[in-house]
Amino acid sequence: MAVGKRLLDLLFPRRCVVCDRLTDRPGEQVCGKCREKILYIREPCCLKCGKQLRKEEQEYCGDCERIPHLFQRGTALYDYGSMADSIFRFKYAGRMEYAEFYGKELYEKKAAWLSAVEPDALIPVPAHASRKRKRGYNQAELVADQLSRLSGIPVNKTLIVRTKRTQPLKNLSHQERQNNLKKAFKIRQNDVKLNTIVIIDDIYTTGSTIDAMTETLHGAGIKSVCFMTLTIGRGI
C-alpha cells in the first residue's frame, strides 16, 4: 500500500493545503515554506472558547467575558488569518482532500484535550440539505470522519439536523446571528444515550452556531457540550 501511495504521489503530485501550489516534498500536503507560516493556537488561551490571549494573566477573552455561552468549553487548531484561504478552498472550492490533513493535525495537536473531555461522540455542525446538495459535501463531516478514524471516537451524524437555511453569519452582529439561528436545529434521532459530545466545525467566530446547537442538545438530555474547530480569531 505504501508503494502504491508513493506512486500516486509521483503521478498526481499534491498541492499545498496552504498556498495551493505543488508541494516541494513528495507525499506531503504542505510545502516547506508554508509549514513555517501556519500559526497554531497556543497558550495562553481563553478557558471558555479557546481563543489565544495576549496576556498570561488573562483567563477569558473579551467576547466570553461579555457573552454568556451555553457550551462548556472549546478549542481550535489554527489562527484564522494564517489558514483563511485554505479554509475557503476547502469549504467552497471542492478541496475535499484537505480533510485528511486537517484531521491528522487535529488528532496530533489535540489528543490530550480530547482525552480530558472524554466525549461519547463527535457531532459535525450539520449543513442545511439544500446547501449540502449545492456544495456536494459538508466540510465539518469530512473533518469529523478523519478525526474519528484516528481517535476511535464515533461520529454521530443523525442526532441533530439543520432545519432552517440560515443567512451567512460573517456580516451579522451577535444579536442578528442569534435571531438568524433561532429554531435552526432540531433533534432527529436520539437512540444512543450520550452524556458528553464534541461539536466539530471549521471556523469559530462569535460562538452563535455552537450555542444554538448546544441549546438543542441540552434539550435532548446531553449534559456536556464542547467544541473543536479548525480555526479561530484572536482574543482581546
Question: What domains does the chain contain, in order, with CATH numbers?
Answer: 1-37 (no CATH), 39-232 (3.40.50)
- Quickly tell me which residue has 449534559 as its cell: 223
Query: pLDDT for 213-228, tens place per residue?
Result: 999 999 999 999 999 9
The answer to whether the predicted template modeling score (pTM) of the entire model surpasses 0.95 is no
Report the alpha-carbon distance of residue 236 to residue 148 in Å, rounded: 32
* pLDDT given at position 149: 97
pLDDT higher than 50, residue 236? yes
Nine cell digits for residue 101:
490533513
Q: At what angle do helices 139-151 and 98-117 cross, to 10 degrees?
A: 60
Question: Nearest 5°: CA angle at 149, between 206 and 138?
Answer: 45
77 touches 231 (CB < 8 A): yes
Percent of the chain with pLDDT over 70: 86
Q: Which three cell numbers stand for residue 47?
A: 478557558
Average pLDDT of every residue of the chain: 89
Residues whose CB is less than 8 angstroms from the CB of residue 154 and which lie 6 or more positions away in sequence, other chains included: 120, 121, 122, 148
Backbone phi, then psi, for 129, in 5-degree steps?
Answer: -55, -40
**pLDDT of 196:** 96
Q: Is the pLDDT of residue 35 over 70?
A: yes
Burial class (CB in 10 A: 0-12, 13-18, 19+), 94: exposed
Residues, the chain: 236
Rounded mean pLDDT of 24-46?
91
Calpha distance 108→36 (Å, rounded):
17
CA 204 to centroid of chain Cα atoms: 8
For residues 91 and 178, the model is more confident at 91
pLDDT at 4 over 60: no
Helix (H) and strand (E) counts for the chain? 9, 6
- pLDDT tens digit sequence for 74-131: 999 999 999 999 999 999 999 999 999 999 999 999 999 999 999 999 999 999 888 8
The per-residue b/e assignment along 154-169, b for 16 or more CB within 10 angstroms, e otherwise, is: ebbbebbbbeeebeeb
